[in-house]
Amino acid sequence: MNKTNNNVMIENPNPRNWRALQVGVCRLLNEIGLAAETGKIVDTPRGKVEIDVFAVDEKSVDKIKYIVECKNWAKPVPQAVVHSFTTVMHEVGANMGFIVSKRGLQVGATQYTQHTNITGLSYAEFQWRYFKVWYERCFVPKIGDAVGPLSEYVEPFNYHRDEKVKNLSASKRQKYFGLLKKYQPFGMTMAFFEFPRYSWHFSMVTEAPESIAKIKETIEASLSGTYRLKSTYFRDLQQEIVRLVEDVTNKFNSVFGENIFASKYSL
């Protein structure tokens, strides 16, 4: 049985049905850089076969192929299913196979996979297997994409912004500096999510946390405890953080009557 860390689930590890499981697996594989699709029809010596999730690592030298069987069953998957899956793997030329299920595999099925390139996982285990890669390639970049204007509004020196501030009325300048005092710690904290795109040295700043609570506490502390993040899973947290960044950015935009960095970040 694979180990998991329930404090770093990407999304709910108990999908409501088979389709949700299939879509979730496919989405995760796409987000970590594979070319994945659901319900792919492939030709085999026995005829056409539909694969729940088919993925290719286009960046690998040998275009490594993955196939995934999704079973949202209430009981562990039996050995007979693994035998059938093995046949499909050979016939489609897959390099790696996963059986992702609600309750994992039966003992006999697990023992059988030990001598194959098939891995049986619960959806929680599947997420844990790829969490660090997903965090680096999906969670961090999407927040980084949203935070550009805010980081420029709050950074210590920014010629373009400072020239705009000079042209504000006294009341608008007062409002800007009030926002700066309130949100500068938050903006500077969120700016770290931008750095990995400029240099790999900064990747260690945003390395995957040990729990969702840890990252929530860091962000809430930057807001002096005036805001509480509500998400239980990292995908929801990502969306919640992006919305928060956009809300704060719009507060600064309202002072200037526009997003003064819009042209730069629309490229």
Number of domains present in the structure of the chain: 2
User: What is the pLDDT at residue 167?
Assistant: 96
Higher pLDDT: 94 or 264? It is: 94
Q: Is 103 helix (H, G, I), strand (E, B) or coil?
A: coil
Same-domain pairing of 86 and 54:
yes
Domain that holds residue 92: 6-128
Same-domain pairing of 113 and 171:
no
Q: Is 98 helix (H, G, I), strand (E, B) or coil?
A: strand
User: What is the pLDDT at residue 197?
Assistant: 63
SS3 content of the chain, % helix, strand, coil (to 5): 55, 15, 30
Per residue in 144-198, pLDDT (tens digit) is 999 999 999 999 999 999 999 999 999 999 999 999 999 999 999 999 898 766 5
Written as six digits, the tokens of 206 are 């945003």
- Which of 128, 152, 170 terminates a domain? The answer is 128
Q: Is residue 196 within 8 Å of 162, Cβ to Cβ?
A: no
pLDDT band at 44 (very low <50, low <70, confident <90, very high): confident
Same-domain pairing of 158 and 80:
no
What's the angle, vertex CA 134, arms to CA 40 and CA 22, rounded to 5?
A: 30
Q: Is 60 helix (H, G, I), strand (E, B) or coil?
A: coil
Q: Is 183 helix (H, G, I), strand (E, B) or coil?
A: helix
How many other C-beta atoms lie within 10 A of the C-beta of residue 36?
21
CATH code for the domain of 58: 3.40.1350.10
Residue 134 lies in a domain: yes
Residue 176 lies in a domain: yes
Same-domain pairing of 32 and 112:
yes
Cα–Cα dist 192/72, whole Å: 38
User: What is the pLDDT at residue 1?
Assistant: 45
User: What is the pLDDT at residue 199?
Assistant: 57
Per residue in 213-239, pLDDT (tens digit) is 999 999 999 999 899 999 999 999 999
Cα–Cα dist 209/241, whole Å: 15
Same-domain pairing of 152 and 198:
yes
Same-domain pairing of 117 and 172:
no
Same-domain pairing of 99 and 160:
no
Q: Which residues, other chains included, contact 233 with Cβ-Cβ below 8 Å and sequence gap of 6+? A: 9, 10, 11, 12, 212
Average pLDDT for residues 238-262, to the nearest whole number?
A: 97
Same-domain pairing of 146 and 72:
no
Q: Is the pLDDT of residue 205 over 80?
A: no
What sign results for the dihedral spanned by CA atoms 54, 58, 117, 137?
negative
Does the reported pTM lie above 0.85? yes
Same-domain pairing of 123 and 188:
no
How many other C-beta atoms lie within 10 A of the C-beta of residue 200?
9
User: What is the pLDDT at residue 115?
Assistant: 83
Residue 94 lies in a domain: yes
Same-domain pairing of 145 and 115:
no
Per residue in 91-127, pLDDT (tens digit) is 999 999 999 998 889 999 999 998 899 999 999 999 9
- Which of 105, 128, 151 terminates a domain? The answer is 128
Same-domain pairing of 120 and 137:
no
Same-domain pairing of 123 and 135:
no
Residue 1 lies in a domain: no
